[in-house]
Amino acid sequence: MNVETRHYAFLGLFVCVGLVMVIGLRPGVPVTADTQRMFAYIDSLPGGSTLMVSFDHEASSLPEIQPLALALLRHAFSKGHKLVGVAFLAEGTVIGYRLMQKAAAEYGRKYGQDYVYLGFRPQHVAAILTMAESVREAFPQDYLGHDYNEIECLRTVDSLGDVAAVISIADGSTTTYWMEYGQSPERLLVLAVVTAAMVTTYDPYLASGQMHAMVGGLRGAAEYERLINRSGGGERGMLAQSAAHFYVIAMIVVGNVVYFKARRKRAAS
């Protein structure tokens, strides 16, 4: 067996995170202004408002984004909002349907009446441009094959201007297209639920007001779960995430100490 230095580093991470997860403590996290803003907006909407939820992510980011997506869906359903689901990435199609169904069942929400899942369209720019004028034209049928006109919760939705906001659940740049192409002819309010890796990418849009609110990552999920008083994957992962972060910091420090020692030695010799 050929064990290299990196294998010890891998094993260290595995053991560190695994041990902490077995301990199972759940440290509370303070809620940041960004998460509070998202929560406040959804909470402030009149009951029965229609929100579009766009599942623009892949299965690869599911462990990170699912807790946050679920927390948001739960909040929206608990407030009696109507949700219209769409997907612009193929994998998001099945994931989105499953998540909406799961959250809806917890609050006794009925398909067709309280929520609907329209399905997938491959070209997001064309789909958003079409929906800006007519959602019916972009999705003549829903994911289950029902005609658009037969679906109760879509009766008040002709175009994107008829939804209170769109929640883009993304692990890539699809949220950008909602902000850029969804602004004509109606100004569209965009809320972003993203992986942590995309947070710094979208910061300028948040600062300029093109995006109304943004929550990111597992930490965002833990904060949101605290706000809705409902435990979930975010809260469960916080201690493990702390352990992982400290492990990475330790590796960086060790690497730099070794580097500077070697540099000093070379300079001395």
Partner 1 sequence: MIGPGTLIAGLLTIAILTFLYRDNPVYKFAESLLIGVSIGYTLVVVWSGTLVDSLFMPLFSDGRYGLLVPLLLGLMMFARLIPRASVLSRLPIAVLIGSGAGVAIPTMLEERTLKQMSATVAPLVGASGWPDFSAIVIVVGVLTTLSYFYFSRAHAGLLGVSARMGTYFLMIFFGATFGYTVMSRMSTLIGRMEFLLTDFLGLTG
Partner 2 sequence: MGRTFAVGICFVFGVLMFVQYFSPHPAARTVHRTVSEYWQIIFAFGLLIGVVAVLRSNLRQLRWGSDRPYRLVTLCGLAAMPILALVWGRGIDSPFMWMFENVQAPMQSTVFALLAFFVVSASVRGFRARSVPAAILLVSALLILLSRSALGSAVLPQLSDTAEWIRNTPSMSARRAILIGIGLGSLTTSLRVILGIEQTWLGRRS
Binding site for partner 1 (CB under 8 A): 2, 7, 10, 13-14, 17-18, 21-22, 24, 60-64, 66, 90-91, 93-94, 119-122, 125-126, 129, 139-141, 143, 179-181, 183, 195-197, 199-201, 204, 207-210, 216-219, 233, 236-237, 240-241, 244-245, 248
Bridge partners (DSSP) of residue 119 are: 86
Q: What are the backbone angles phi and psi of residue 111, rounded to the nearest 5°?
A: -70, 135
SS (H, E, C) 7-60: HHHHHHHHHHHHHHHHHCCCCCCCCCHHHHHHHHHHHHCCCCCEEEEEEECCHH
Whether the upstream peptide bond of residue 185 has omega within 30° of 0, thus cis, is: yes
Nearer to partner 2, 130 or 164 (CB): 130
SS3 86: strand
Helices in the chain by DSSP H: which ranges?
5-23, 33-44, 62-78, 90-106, 124-133, 135-138, 174-181, 199-208, 217-227, 233-236, 238-268
CA neighbours closer than 13 Å in the CB half-sphere of residue 5? 2
Which of partner 1, partner 2, none is residue 141 near (CB under 5 to 8 Å by kind)?
A: partner 1
Indicate the residue among 6 and 266 with the shorter CB distance to partner 2.
6
For residues 154, 155, 156, 162, the Cα torsion angle rounded to the nearest 10 degrees is: 40
* Secondary structure of residue 174 in the 3-state scheme: helix
Q: How far apart are CA 242 and CA 21, in angstroms?
A: 11
Angle (CA) 33-34-36 rounded to 5° is 60
Q: CB 123 → partner 1: shortest distance, Å?
A: 9
Binds 78: which of partner 2, partner 1, none (CB < 5-8 Å by kind):
none
CB of 113 to partner 2, least distance (A): 18
The entry of partner 2, partner 1, none that residue 40 binds, CB within 5 to 8 Å by partner kind: none
183 binds, among partner 2, partner 1, none (CB under 5 to 8 A by kind): partner 1
Residue 96 binds which entry of partner 1, partner 2, none, CB below 5-8 Å type-dependent: none
Residue 170 Cβ vs partner 2, minimum distance, rounded to whole Å = 15
Smallest distance, partner 2 to C-beta of residue 48, A: 26
Residue 183 beta carbon to partner 1: minimum distance, rounded to whole angstroms: 7
Select from partner 2, partner 1, none the partner in contact with residue 24, using the beta carbon and a kind-dependent cut-off of 5 to 8 Å: partner 1
SS3 269: coil
Length reported for the chain = 269
Task: Choose from partner 2, partner 1, none: what does 266 bind? Cβ within 5-8 Å by kind.
Answer: none
Contacts with partner 2, residue ranges (CB under 8 A): 5-6, 9-10, 12-14, 27-30, 32-33, 58-63, 91, 94-95, 97-98, 101, 121-123, 125-127, 129-130, 133-134, 137-138, 184-185, 196, 199-201, 203-204, 207, 217, 219, 222, 238-239, 241-242, 244-249, 251-252, 254-256, 259
